[in-house]
Structure formats: C-alpha cells, structure tokens
C-alpha cells in the first residue's frame, strides 16, 4: 500500500508539471522547501547564467536574515534534489532581505 506522503508527493509533482513557466519557480520552491520555510522566504526569480556547456539556472531566494541564509545554504543540496525534476536549476542563491525602511526608499 502506498503511503499518504508518497501519494501527496506524486500529486504535487503532477500539478507542478502543468504550471505555466512563469509560475513554476515559486511553486517548485514552495514544494521543495516546505510550508514553514516557504512562508519565511520569497522567490525573487530564476536567472540564467550561460556558459560554454549551455544555460544554467540559478534560483534566487530572499531570506529574512544571515542565520536563515546560513541554514538554508547548508540544506541547498536537499532543495536542489527536490527542485531538479521541475527546474533545470544548477544552484540556489540566498539573498538577504533589505530592511523595511530601505525597501520603501527612506
């Protein structure tokens, strides 16, 4: 008998494959990171960095502080293994969120 978590993973994978390309990075991150992490982070984009071997994607994720960046960077290999079935992502770049006042231009 299939475990409920395996069924949920399969259903989510099928749903992600049907999303438009512009929605995929954020949805894939939410899936790969899990709800608790996804609620504290924000996908800024999925940038291409080309080289001689072809295009490589870098998922850029905003994090609240340096502690989050350090912890998530250590977990990057796990996130990448969950992301790769949906995105051709080579690495994840974690950027610090700017303070609220700075974001407003003060």
Q: Please report the pLDDT score of residue 100 as a whole number.
A: 66
pLDDT mean across residues, the chain:
85
* CA distances, 52 to each of 29, 55, 56, 84, 91 (Å): 27, 8, 10, 21, 17
Whole-model pTM: value is 0.80
Q: What is the pLDDT of residues 23-61, one digit of tens each?
A: 999 999 999 999 999 999 999 998 876 555 556 789 999
- Give dist(CA 55, CA 36) in Å, integer: 31
* CATH class for the domain made up of 4-103: alpha beta
Q: Where are the domains of the chain?
A: 4-103
Q: How many residues does the chain have?
A: 106
């Amino acid at each position: 008998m299939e475990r409920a978590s395996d069924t949920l993973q399969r259903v989510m994978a099928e749903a992600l494959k049907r999303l438009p390309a512009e929605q995929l990075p954020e949805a894939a991150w939410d899936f790969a990171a899990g709800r608790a992490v996804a609620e504290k982070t924000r996908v800024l984009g999925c940038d291409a960095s080309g080289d001689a071997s072809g295009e490589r994607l870098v998922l850029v994720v905003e994090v609240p502080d340096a502690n989050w960046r350090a912890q998530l960077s250590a977990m990057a290999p796990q996130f990448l293994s969950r992301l790769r079935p949906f995105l051709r992502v080579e690495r994840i770049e974690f950027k610090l969120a700017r303070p609220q006042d700075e974001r407003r231009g003060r």
